Amino acid sequence: MNPLAAAAYRAAPIWTQNLLLSLYGWKLERERYGGRYQEFRERLEQQQWQSHDQIVAWQEERLRAIVAHAYEHVPYYRRIFDERKLTPADVRTTADLGKLPLLTKADIRQHFDDLRSRTVPAARLKTGHTSGTTGTPLTVGYDDATVWMTYAVFDRHYQWAGASLANPPDRIAVARGNVIVPLAQRRPPFWRMNRAQNQLMLSSFHLSKANLPAYFEALREFRPAVMDGYPSTLYVLAKYLQNRGETFPVRTVISSSETLYDFQRAVIEERFCCRMFDYYAAAERVVFSGECDRHEGHHVAMEYGLAEVVDESGQPLPAGTEGRLVGTSLHNMAMPLLRYVTSDWSAIEPHRCSCGRGLQVMADVTTKAEDLLTLADGRLISPSVLTHPFKPLDCIEGSQIVQTARDAVEVRLIPGPAYTDAHTRHLVSELQARLGDDVRIEVRMVEALENAPNGKFKWVTSHVPLGV
Ligand SMILES: [Zn+2]
């Protein structure tokens, strides 16, 4: 939503907000489930049961098509190939991929326009913003086929979980990062209804001991078949049930976007009385993976992207060894991303899943461990929802959030050359919209960001004890 639309939404009465959300939902439905969506969905249904070798052969055919397109129409890749004296004939199989350099976030920021296929005019390129929990925002370009394929893969994951996202959708309760309920609102409803997608959207910004009973009243009335959210948010809901000795049975729970810890899974599965189906979707649309009903790891959606795991120097690691996850899109002709380095860690497992699907199995993905914020009014804020204000600001080169007190948050920034005071104002107002006006937000420009005592970078740190 653009800032003007967001301001109009905030000012509207609740029934209008429900209507606006539903209209937005219908718009998304049309974009996601039109065009070649159905064709992709049917192909995915059938391909997953092919043998592993057949799927690899198909992947390599797509890889050759993407590489040929990149060489022909993408100035960045023409240069990379020429410098290395390569032609598309040199990159024909997954084993050849190592001839190409890794593509980093910094490369995309620096060469954004040169990475655009000349077959797509700049004005027609769709763009998506990512931030993840690295605190470094990034914009990537993609085309319609990438959108249809992404939703076809999502829908397949939902089906693995015994649920349906479309045609017709199940009743789904969603607890993710969008600001759907203005913070100034102190009384229920802390949720809105998206009728187009049959979703009860729960605010992730009003979760406090005082408000949780109202959330569960709404959930009991809505009777969702599916809970879908960040592990940290689902955990807050499950913990509340546990503390009261209650359960809230649903058919299935779907989680993503953060590391799902075993202790979270145990409480969530026990309190929602079903299994969880975690998935991982790199926001740059290069890798997707998810659990099937055997829960023997994540299946890589090999028809979507090609996954590699590499060490710090970029060398491919053997099966079973954990390293940095690298992805190559097999669909995005508008901005082919070859060997894109994600911020996440995993391992490709040597075994296949007992379900019989030919898709590779990947270990659970670890994104970095971040802290939840505990605010003065008792609300708990998931680190994932804090990524949203940063996403459009790709003039920021690095960031870090430190909660120093219940009502004080410090944002440390490494600004890029295009960064101005207007960006600071935007950031503060977007954070304030999520944390509340009574939280002091101080933005401090720094030369470098600090690492945690274990030497790892941590994007969100809170010095306030967690109050569940
Ligand atoms: Zn399986």
Measured in degrees and rounded to the nearest 5, phi and psi for residue 440 equal -80, 125
d(CA 407, CA 375): 6
CA of 257 relative to ligand 1 center, distance in Å: 20
CA of 92 relative to ligand 1 center, distance in Å: 28
Let me know: does 138 contact 129? Beta carbons within 8 Å.
Answer: yes
Measured in degrees and rounded to the nearest 5, phi and psi for residue 413 equal -130, 140
Measured in degrees and rounded to the nearest 5, phi and psi for residue 249 equal -65, 130
CA of 30 relative to ligand 1 center, distance in Å: 31
Instruction: Quickly list DSSP for 174-198.
Output: EE-S---S-TT--SS--EEEEGGGT
CA of 359 relative to ligand 1 center, distance in Å: 8
Tokens of 12: 């509207």
Angle at 140 between CA 135 and CA 143, to 5 degrees: 150
CA of 371 relative to ligand 1 center, distance in Å: 32
CA of 251 relative to ligand 1 center, distance in Å: 19
Let me know: does 426 contact 396? Beta carbons within 8 Å.
Answer: no
d(CA 202, CA 204): 6
CA of 358 relative to ligand 1 center, distance in Å: 9
Helices (H) and strands (E) in the chain, counts: 11, 20
CA of 414 relative to ligand 1 center, distance in Å: 43
Cβ-proximal residues to 449 (8 Å cutoff; 6+ apart), any chain: 135, 398, 399, 400, 412, 414, 457
**Nearest in space to 157 (alpha carbons), one of 359, 409, 446, 418:** 359
CA of 57 relative to ligand 1 center, distance in Å: 20
Burial state string for 372-406 with b = 16 or more CB within 10 A and e = fewer than 16: bbbbeebbbbbbbbbbbbbbbbbebbbbbbbbeeb
CA of 52 relative to ligand 1 center, distance in Å: 13
Q: What local confidence, expressed as pLDDT, does residue 1 receive?
A: 59
Tokens of 439: 């939280």
CA of 228 relative to ligand 1 center, distance in Å: 20
pLDDT in tens, the chain (468 residues): 566 677 888 889 999 999 988 888 888 888 888 899 999 999 999 999 999 999 999 999 999 999 999 999 999 999 999 999 999 999 999 999 999 999 998 899 999 999 999 999 999 899 988 866 666 788 999 999 999 999 999 999 999 999 998 888 999 999 987 788 888 888 999 999 999 889 999 998 888 888 999 999 999 999 999 999 988 889 889 989 988 999 999 999 999 988 887 878 999 999 999 999 999 998 789 999 999 999 999 999 999 999 999 987 788 899 998 888 999 999 999 999 999 998 888 899 999 999 999 999 999 887 766 788 888 887 888 887 888 888 888 788 778 999 999 999 999 998 888 899 999 999 999 999 899 989 999 999 998 787 766 655 688 889 987 655
The DSSP element (H or E) to which 82 belongs, if any, is helix 75-83
CA of 41 relative to ligand 1 center, distance in Å: 18
CA of 290 relative to ligand 1 center, distance in Å: 9
Domains of the chain: 3-32+163-250 (3.40.50), 37-151+281-362 (3.40.50.12780), 373-462 (3.30.300.30)
Q: What is the pTM of this model?
A: 0.84
d(CA 56, CA 29): 31
CA of 453 relative to ligand 1 center, distance in Å: 38
CA of 421 relative to ligand 1 center, distance in Å: 50
Tokens of 286: 């290069």
Q: What local confidence, expressed as pLDDT, does residue 314 receive?
A: 82
Residue matched to tokens 């089906």: 159
Task: Indicate the SS3 state at residue 132.
Answer: coil
